[in-house]
Chain A
Amino acid sequence: MSEALTASTVTMNGHDGDEIEAYLAVPEDGSAARGSIVVLHHMPGYDTSTKEIVRKFAAHGYAALMPNLYYREAPGASPDDAAAVARASGGVPDERLVGDVAGAAGFLRALAGSNGKVGVIGYCSGGRQAFLAACSLPLDAAVDCYGAFIVSPVPEGVPLKVQPIVGLASNLSCPLLGLFGTDDKNPTPAETAELSQALDNAGKQHEFHTYDGAGHAFFAVDRVAYRPEAANDGWQKIWDFYSRYLAS
């Protein structure tokens, strides 16, 4: 694999046909049909470090697209300013998220070289959203990296306007990989165990890995939460998982 890629900012149609900004990275080696991945950014937004993750997927042979989930609230704003607006206004509505992922998946399937298979991955708030998308849309593989509030409700007083979605487990459309840390409080190991049990009860294929010595955001290379041992193993789990379900 040459790891050559092309990356650019594009416009895509999201929920309700809204035009929103997205970051696209596509492998330059177009000799074989390839799978695609929708990347859902963390709560701090559509930032430089998550764009690096998008390019990482392209370097590994997948087309990847990250919609700017805060674009409507803050078009053209810097990622941290946009995230501040989103936090103050209660986050991204679930219905809109599903529409945006549907739009992103359609965009990727329409690209030349697509094999028609689309996975999703999300970090932090995006982890919950990856599960939500995989329970709401026909997808081929989903990865939840430390998504909170899937099982438990948002604590009283927290302005995040989302509800638990563990009840959607029986609708999961594809295999789910979950990557978590034992030191995380959102989600706790007990909550991810509850999600695993719900998926078992629904007969849904999933594999969860919970890393000792790691907490929330252990994949974030530019933050002190970064735990290279957990992140490196997590990336291997991701490559193995997507190679099984997104290959032609």
Chain B
Amino acid sequence: MCTYTTEKIEITGSGKGAEGWFSLSDATVYYDHPVHAMAEHTLNIDFRNPGKGPSARVAVELTAESARALVGAIEAALAAVPPALVA
């Protein structure tokens, strides 16, 4: 199925795309058909900067298991440093 679901958030940071590094302004997160991964559905994240054009995008397609592991790893990494660093 195409789920069409899309979560969209504003973010601050940088990403490296096909033409090098660029600043990021938003991310879209959705669970739908992948373009490249060999799975029926994947958790897809587009890190983007629409102001720099459609190609200013870093894309990942993760299986649901991988996406959950990534969430856990991100939380663990943030929890492992002094709170003052991530305030």
Residues of A participating in the B interface, judged by any CB pair closer than 8 Å:
43-44, 73-74, 77-78, 80-85, 87-88, 124-125, 148, 154-155, 157-160, 184-186, 215-217, 223-225
Choice from B4, B28, B54, B59 contacting A74 with Cβ under 8 Å: B54
Choice from B5, B30, B40, B57 contacting A225 with Cβ under 8 Å: B40
User: In the assembly, what is the distance between CA of A44 and CA of B2, in Å?
Assistant: 10
Residues of B participating in the A interface, judged by any CB pair closer than 8 Å:
1-6, 8, 26, 28, 30, 33-35, 38-40, 46, 48, 50, 53-55, 57, 59
For residue A70, which residue of chain B has the nearest CB?
Answer: B54
10 tightest CB-CB pairs across the interface, nearest first? A77-B54, A74-B54, A185-B1, A81-B54, A216-B1, A84-B46, A186-B1, A80-B35, A85-B54, A158-B4
Q: Hey, which chain A residues are within 8 Å of B30, CB to CB?
A: 87
**B40 contacts A224, C-beta separation under 8 Å:** yes
Q: Hey, which chain B residues are within 8 Å of A81, CB to CB?
A: 54-55, 57
Q: Hey, which chain B residues are within 8 Å of A216, CB to CB?
A: 1-2, 33
- Describe B's contact surface by its main secondary structure: loop
User: In the assembly, what is the distance between CA of A74 and CA of B55, in Å?
Assistant: 9
**A88 contacts B2, C-beta separation under 8 Å:** no
**A88 contacts B48, C-beta separation under 8 Å:** yes
Task: Name the distance in Å between B34's Cβ and chain A's nearest Cβ.
Answer: 8
Q: Hey, which chain A residues are within 8 Å of B33, CB to CB?
A: 44, 216-217, 223, 225
- Describe A's contact surface by its main secondary structure: loop
Task: Name the distance in Å between B18's Cβ and chain A's nearest Cβ.
Answer: 9
User: In the assembly, what is the distance between CA of A77 and CA of B53, in Å?
Assistant: 8
**B28 contacts A84, C-beta separation under 8 Å:** yes
6 extra A-B contacts, CB within 8 A, seeds A84-B48, A124-B2: A74-B53, A78-B54, A80-B35, A148-B4, A154-B4, A216-B2
**A148 contacts B46, C-beta separation under 8 Å:** no
Choice from A78, A88, A148 contacting B8 with Cβ under 8 Å: A88
User: In the assembly, what is the distance between CA of A85 and CA of B57, in Å?
Assistant: 10
Contacts A80-B35, A85-B50, A87-B28; A186 near B2 (Cβ below 8 A): yes
Q: Name the residue among A84, A148, A185 with the largest chain B CB count within 10 angstroms.
A: A84
User: In the assembly, what is the distance between CA of A157 and CA of B1, in Å?
Assistant: 17
Contacts A44-B33, A223-B33, A224-B38; A82 near B54 (Cβ below 8 A): yes
Contacts A43-B2, A73-B54, A186-B3; A84 near B40 (Cβ below 8 A): no
**B50 contacts A88, C-beta separation under 8 Å:** yes
Q: Name the residue among A81, A82, A186 with the largest chain B CB count within 10 angstroms.
A: A81
Task: Name the distance in Å between B66's Cβ and chain A's nearest Cβ.
Answer: 16
**B35 contacts A44, C-beta separation under 8 Å:** yes
Contacts A224-B38, A225-B33, A225-B40; A84 near B57 (Cβ below 8 A): yes
User: In the assembly, what is the distance between CA of A204 and CA of B75, in Å?
Assistant: 56
User: In the assembly, what is the distance between CA of A7 and CA of B33, in Å?
Assistant: 28
User: In the assembly, what is the distance between CA of A81 and CA of B39, in Å?
Assistant: 20
**A159 contacts B2, C-beta separation under 8 Å:** no
A-B contact pairs, 13 of them (CB 8 A): A44-B33, A74-B53, A81-B54, A87-B30, A88-B6, A88-B28, A155-B5, A158-B5, A158-B6, A186-B1, A215-B1, A216-B1, A224-B40
